[in-house]
Amino acid sequence: MSSFVRRIAGAMALNPRTFEEVEADQSAGAQALMVVLFSALAGAAAARGLGARTSELPTLVVLGLMDWAAWAVLTYQIGTRILPVPDTRSDVGELLRTIGFSTAPGLLAVIGVVPALSKPVVVVTTLWMLAAMVVAVRQALDFRSTARAIAVCVFAFVLSVLLMMLLGSILTPVLSRMS
């Protein structure tokens, strides 16, 4: 099994060693970016199952990538500046690699292309990605407490959702005038 597929499986299994490995491997950035991109594509497929038009899918992929980027930046800021512990030693690359792989469960969102499965698949994969994010953040930021990692991830998640809702409310009228 290639290291890429093994890492995806390990991230989906919420294996802390996988996240430690990705954190330490400075060459894993491209792999992490691929996981994020494929997860965004799978999310767009799930949106299709929820009734999104085919013409909206590229926009949904871009919004998915922007959402991930907002979540990553907010997580880094919250985890290293607002809620760090004395042992917190991380750089942006380490956190981006681990957070990138935490989107691996989102790959299964492609099952949501089936309309009857869309809602449950989106809910399950979102919660699964949040759980993977907690493991990734705990490992990348050297937290001893899972509760602290949960706090960082949930706080960043809520802020990124609010940011994306604001962005969506701004872009929706603009995009509707363009089509």
In which band, very low, low, confident or very high, does the pLDDT at 165 lie, cut at 50, 70 and 90? Answer: confident
Q: How far apart are CA 49 and CA 76, in angstroms?
A: 33
pTM of the predicted model as reported, rounded to 2 decimal places: 0.90
If one counts every other C-beta atom within 10 angstroms of the C-beta of residue 84, the result is: 17
Q: How far apart are CA 64 and CA 129, in angstroms?
A: 13
Give residue 168's pLDDT: 76
Give residue 87's pLDDT: 87
Domain boundary assignment for the chain: 3-171
- Report pLDDT digits (tens) over 76-135: 999 999 999 998 888 899 999 999 999 999 999 999 999 999 999 999 999 999 999 999
